[in-house]
Amino acid sequence: MAETKLMALREAINLAQSEEMRKDDKVFLMGEDVGIYGGDFGTSVGMLDEFGPKRVRDTPISEAAIAGSAVGAAQTGLRPIVDLTFMDFITIALDAIVNQAAKTNYMFGGGLKTPVTFRVASGSGIGSAAQHSQSLEAWVTHIPGIKVVAPGTANDAKGLLKSSILDNNPVIFLEPKALYGKKEEVSQDPDFYIPLGKGDIKREGTDVTIVSYGRMLERVLKAAEEVAEEGISVEVVDPRTLIPLDKELIIESVKKTGKLILVNDAYKTGGFIGEIATMVTESEAFDYLDAPIIRIASDDVPVPYANILENAVLPNVEKIKAAIYKQVNKG
């Protein structure tokens, strides 16, 4: 069995980047404050000392320039990892990502790859207020040509980030910033990769399926653990990657339990979990549903700064448990 080590999520990100940069000198890291400062969330601490300023490149404060130069570097033979810090800032970088990186391989008949990974600190939970707390994955999952990865554990983050760096397509890699400091066992195997498009059953169950990813996975698992004491068996499905989505894993779980709850911390209206709900209703799993699908998401308001208000608009363990009780007719 491969050796593991207790590491925080930020450390697992650092390790994944470093391992791939040691293997391939075409891989490099770029972004605001990634060098001397070690990344706004500590994800590149020590990397400047090991790899030098040519491969750990501090950039100007311009997401448009960062994304444009990264796409150009990727299309001319390099493999950039881009630290865009807060996901909210991706709004400024979308032209290069959506109109260039996502489309060029198709437009050139498969002859122009864009192997670039955009890392974004996603979601709320640390009091960063309305402009630094959004989960905007639904924006990029809408665009063909982009892969979207959303790990909820440190070990998954390591294995998925390494696979993202090796992928020949643009990848948006969501990092749940509220979990950067959470420590878990992480594989130390430099050849540990988790393939994109392969989900995971985080908890086996028979009464109801909950599909969740990123930060909310932790809360879903806690809710499942608490209701288990009352004899309710919850199956927790973590897709890990949103595009490509492991549809079969979700469908088979719903067919087994007959009930489905979907949880994320993005806004409810237009959120990606709505796409999962539609996918299930269009599949053979629809005939197995014994109750309407329930979505639990952030309220459709800008994320408040005040802690008590931020907590009020987000999914929490009690809201998840209430949905479970409703599905199994105990609420």
Average per-residue pLDDT for the chain: 96
Containing 184, the helix (H) or strand (E) segment is: strand 183-187
pLDDT at 2: 74
What is the percent of the chain with per-residue pLDDT over 70, rounded to a whole number? 99
Q: pLDDT, tens digit, for every residue of 86-113? A: 999 999 999 999 999 999 999 999 999 9
pLDDT at 297: 97
Q: Does residue 331 carry a pLDDT above 70?
A: no
Q: Does residue 22 carry a pLDDT above 90?
A: yes
Summarize the confidence of residues 210-219 as an average pLDDT. Answer: 97
Exposed / middle / buried, residue 77 (Cβ in 10 Å: 0-12, 13-18, 19+): exposed
**81 pLDDT band (50/70/90 cuts)?**
very high
pLDDT at 329: 86
pLDDT at 303: 94
pLDDT at 145: 97
Rg over alpha carbons for the chain, rounded to the nearest Å, is 20
Q: Which residues touch 84 (CB under 8 Å, ≥6 apart)?
A: 31, 63, 66, 67, 90, 93, 118, 119, 120
**Which residues are identified as catalytic?**
63, 132
Q: pLDDT, tens digit, for every residue of 181-193? A: 999 999 999 999 9
Helix crossing, 272-281 with 247-257: angle to 10°?
A: 60
Q: pLDDT, tens digit, for every residue of 116-156? A: 999 999 999 888 999 999 999 999 999 999 999 999 999 99
Summarize the confidence of residues 64-89 as an average pLDDT. Answer: 97
Domains in the chain: ranges and CATH: 7-187 (3.40.50.970), 200-327 (3.40.50.920)
Residue 168 backbone phi and psi in degrees, to 5? -90, 10
Helix (H, G, I), strand (E, B) or coil at 227: helix
Q: Does residue 24 carry a pLDDT above 60?
A: yes
CA 133 to chain centre: 14
Q: Which of 206, 212, 329 minimizes the C-alpha distance to 273?
A: 212
pLDDT at 178: 95
Summarize the confidence of residues 161-177 as an average pLDDT. Answer: 98
pLDDT at 1: 55
110: left (phi over 0), alpha (psi -120 to 50) or beta: left
pLDDT at 275: 98
pLDDT at 125: 85
Summarize the confidence of residues 253-270 as an average pLDDT. Answer: 97
pLDDT at 330: 58
